[in-house]
């Protein structure tokens, strides 16, 4: 199958596994258009996080094509993918806890040291909480604040596409709500977002479109609003 023709980020026939007999993704198609938030939901073990890790260059596909702005990036090193405008925020170990907030942002700007100071000030203007705690050790931040810092580190490379893996995992309902507000604000500033999220209800609330993965394959996709209203989807993933 060839590259999909729609989207800032496009994935076609992506197959990823640890051996020929242990395939996690089995021919997945996926796309993120300009200005979209695209949610990826599904049961545990469906391959959702594997999809993001493969796009970010952390896993090498055995088949398929990944393209950013129409140019193939399949097999590129993570550092090179980041420099092309795609940033990935993993679920865990996504900050440097012993460093200050500002030092974390400096680490996030590794790809272009020359513009680091300007981008840090832009991040502080966007996230007042981080500005107030710029000299604090990152380990003193709350769970929600740590996730905001992780996203801010990713924004230091000025990405056009941001990959978020389970951003609300382990957060209280209030902290998760605030985090989703931050995600919406980042998107309104023109960053396209692909988000894997176990909190399917909230993910579909803020997403433009969504994909449902089951057993490493595409199961359903479409408008997030339409999927949220589907009785089968509500029963299986939204607890309704």
Average the pLDDT over 20-45 and give the result: 93
| Whole-number average pLDDT of the chain | 92
pLDDT recorded at residue 173: 92
Mind listing the domains of the chain with CATH numbers?
34-57+76-237 (3.40.50.300)
pLDDT recorded at residue 62: 93
Instruction: Say whether pLDDT at 111 is over 80.
Output: no
Give which of 215, 240, 214, 212 is closest to 39, Cα–Cα: 212
Average the pLDDT over 148-163 and give the result: 96
Instruction: Say whether pLDDT at 7 is over 80.
Output: no
Instruction: Say whether pLDDT at 100 is over 80.
Output: yes
Instruction: Say whether pLDDT at 1 is over 80.
Output: no
Average the pLDDT over 206-230 and give the result: 95
- Buried/exposed code over 53-81 (b: 16+ C-beta within 10 A; e: otherwise): bbbbbebebebbbbbbeeeebbebeeeeb
- Dihedral through CA 135, CA 172, CA 91, CA 221, nearest 10? -130
- Dihedral through CA 199, CA 212, CA 32, CA 186, nearest 10? 0
Predicted TM-score (pTM) of this structure: 0.91
Instruction: Say whether pLDDT at 4 is over 50.
Output: no
Give which of 183, 129, 120 is closest to 153, Cα–Cα: 120
Q: How confident is the model at residue 2 (pLDDT cuts 50, 70, 90)?
A: very low
Average the pLDDT over 194-223 and give the result: 95
Tokens of 166: 């389970």
Euclidean distance between CA atoms 199 and 164, whole angstroms: 13
Are 124 and 131 spatial neighbours (Cβ–Cβ below 8 Å)?
Answer: yes
Average the pLDDT over 154-175 and give the result: 94
pLDDT recorded at residue 5: 44
How long is the chain?
A: 240
pLDDT recorded at residue 240: 54
- What is the tens place of the pLDDT at every residue in 44-77? 999 999 999 999 999 999 999 999 999 999 999 9
């Amino acid at each position: 199958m060839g590259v999909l023709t729609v989207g800032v980020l496009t994935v076609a026939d992506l197959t990823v596994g640890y051996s020929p007999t242990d395939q996690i993704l089995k021919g997945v198609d996926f796309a993120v258009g300009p200005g979209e938030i695209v949610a990826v939901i599904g049961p545990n073990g469906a391959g959702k996080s594997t999809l993001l890790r493969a796009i970010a260059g952390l896993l090498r596909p055995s088949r398929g094509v990944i393209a950013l702005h129409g140019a193939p990036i399949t097999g590129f090193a993570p550092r090179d993918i980041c420099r092309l405008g795609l940033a990935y925020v993993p679920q865990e170990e996504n900050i440097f806890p012993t460093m200050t907030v500002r030092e974390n942002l400096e680490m996030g700007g590794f790809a272009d040291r020359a513009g680091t100071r300007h981008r840090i000030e832009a991040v502080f203007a966007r996230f007042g909480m981080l500005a107030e705690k710029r000299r604090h050790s990152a380990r003193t931040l709350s769970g929600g604040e740590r996730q905001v810092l992780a996203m801010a580190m990713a924004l230091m490379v000025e990405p056009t596409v941001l990959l978020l893996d389970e951003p609300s995992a382990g957060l209280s309902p209030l902290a998760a709500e605030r985090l989703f507000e931050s995600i919406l604000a980042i998107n309104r500033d023109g960053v396209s977002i692909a988000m894997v999220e176990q909190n399917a209800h909230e993910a579909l609330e803020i997403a433009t479109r969504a994909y449902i993965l089951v057993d490493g394959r595409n199961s359903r996709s479409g408008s997030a609003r339409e999927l949220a209203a589907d009785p089968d989807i509500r029963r299986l993933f939204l607890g309704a």
